[in-house]
Amino acid sequence: MINFLQIRNHFPEYHENKSWWAYRYCKDVKDKPEIRKHVTDSFDAYNYCKNVKDRPEIRKYITDSEGAYWYCKNVKDRSEIRMHITENYYLVRYRKWKAKQ
């Protein structure tokens, strides 16, 4: 007999938010390339880089100000990510944090 709950837990096609599901799967179960490709949301990509592994193919999805700020602060301050910090709120926070370094 097919256990549909088991299928739902292991296949991204059954989840509305595939990016979040893929990040959690890679973090909690196993980091697989076929699952990793579903991590496309900016904040999920930041969390993946912070909690699983900092990979260039995931890092390229960090495109919003909040995710870029937290990436630079908590993972590594990279210029290609820093350029995405465009909102004033996160620019001010980034500059204050950088001044304390």
DSSP state, residue 101: -
Position 18 scores a pLDDT of 84
Dihedral of CA 62/64/67/68: which sign? positive
Position 11 scores a pLDDT of 58
Position 78 scores a pLDDT of 95
Which residue numbers in the chain have pLDDT < 50?
1-5, 7
Position 61 scores a pLDDT of 96
Position 44 scores a pLDDT of 95
Q: Which domain holds residue 72?
A: 4-100
Q: What is the pTM of this model?
A: 0.82
Position 83 scores a pLDDT of 96
Count up the domains in the chain and report the number.
1
